């Protein structure tokens, strides 16, 4: 597997043209989007734990595998309390435009920290995705992150309560730990399966 950085986009006009399927990493700041992306492709391509700056960027990566190619998009996080107000206001239009219109997008991965309760932002994003984005054929994949921070016996109950808060069953949530490399092979195989079954599209 080989992963290369394509570009950073600050607005819709800068989204790259790609062939094949694209998957987007969504979730609040610090939930582990960039870390999970890096762990999945086994490379340090996405920058992690940087304080969100003034510019919110979508970072695109090309992944080449023996089973075909796909694109990953690392989206800016939300809910960073100390972000300047203009940055907080910028988040919604860019991400909304991306999720509503991006043609190669096959699935939006909504990342949720298994140790934390759902935030209002998590819930309203999930509801909006279900209502306005899923109908155009984009799947919503729920991914629990940082499983290693909970003992084994507390992982399942945490998943169940997250799932219940969203009105889905716990088996709809992919449980992962980037640090312990848990749940990554299954998630990658799942994405590759979706990439294969997606109709070929150009941006
Ligand atoms: N223990 C643990 N820490 C993680 C995991 N994934 C991410 N982190 C940490 O969470 C922080 C935020 O991660 P990052 O990927 O930058 O989050 P992002 O803002 O959603 O892109 C960093 O300090 C990471 O090292 C994980 O699976 N386990
Ligand atoms: Mg990040």
Q: How confident is the model at residue 197 (pLDDT cuts 50, 70, 90)?
A: confident
Q: Whose CA is nearest to atom 12 of ligand 1?
A: 30
pLDDT attached to residue 91:
77
Closest CA to 70 of 197, 202, 195: 195
| Residue 146: inside a domain | yes
Residue 91, domain member (yes or no):
yes
- Output the CA 42–ligand 2 centroid distance in Å: 16
Residue 202 lies in a domain: no
Average pLDDT across the chain, whole number: 91
| Domain-located, residue 203 | no
Write out pLDDT tens, residues 126-158.
Answer: 999 999 999 999 999 999 999 999 999 999 999
**Is residue 95 domain-resident?**
yes
CB-neighbour burial class of residue 128 (10 A; exposed 0-12, middle 13-18, buried 19+) = middle
Q: What is the pTM of this model?
A: 0.94
How many domains are there within the chain?
1
User: With left for phi above 0 and alpha for psi between -120 and 50, is residue 96 left, alpha or beta?
Assistant: alpha
CATH code, domain with 155: 3.40.50.300
Model confidence pLDDT, tens digit, residues 28-81: 999 999 999 999 999 999 998 766 655 689 999 999 998 889 999 999 988 766
**Mutation probe of ligand 1 site: the residue of 33, 35, 149 with most atoms within 8 A of C-beta:** 35
Query: Is residue 128 in a domain?
Result: yes
Query: Which domain range does residue 124 map to?
Result: 2-197
- Residue 84 included in any domain: yes
């Amino acid at each position: 597997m080989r992963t290369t950085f394509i570009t950073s986009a600050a607005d819709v006009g800068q989204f790259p043209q790609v062939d094949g399927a694209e998957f987007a990493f969504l979730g609040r700041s610090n939930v582990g989007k960039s870390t999970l992306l890096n762990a999945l492709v086994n490379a340090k391509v996405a920058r992690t734990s940087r304080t969100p700056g003034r510019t919110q960027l979508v970072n695109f990566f090309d992944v080449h595998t023996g089973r075909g190619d796909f694109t990953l998009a690392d989206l800016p996080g939300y809910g960073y309390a100390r972000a300047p107000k203009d940055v907080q206001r910028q988040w919604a239009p860019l991400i909304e435009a991306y999720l509503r219109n991006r043609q190669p997008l096959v699935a939006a991965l909504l990342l949720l920290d298994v140790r934390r309760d759902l935030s209002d932002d998590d819930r309203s994003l999930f509801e909006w995705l279900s209502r306005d984005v899923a109908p155009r054929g984009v799947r919503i994949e729920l991914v629990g992150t940082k499983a290693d921070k909970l003992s084994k016996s507390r992982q399942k109950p945490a998943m169940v309560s997250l799932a219940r808060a969203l009105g889905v069953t716990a088996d709809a949530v992919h449980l992962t730990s980037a640090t312990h490399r848990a749940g990554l092979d299954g998630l990658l195989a799942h994405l590759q399966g979706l990439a294969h079954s997606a109709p070929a599209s150009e941006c």
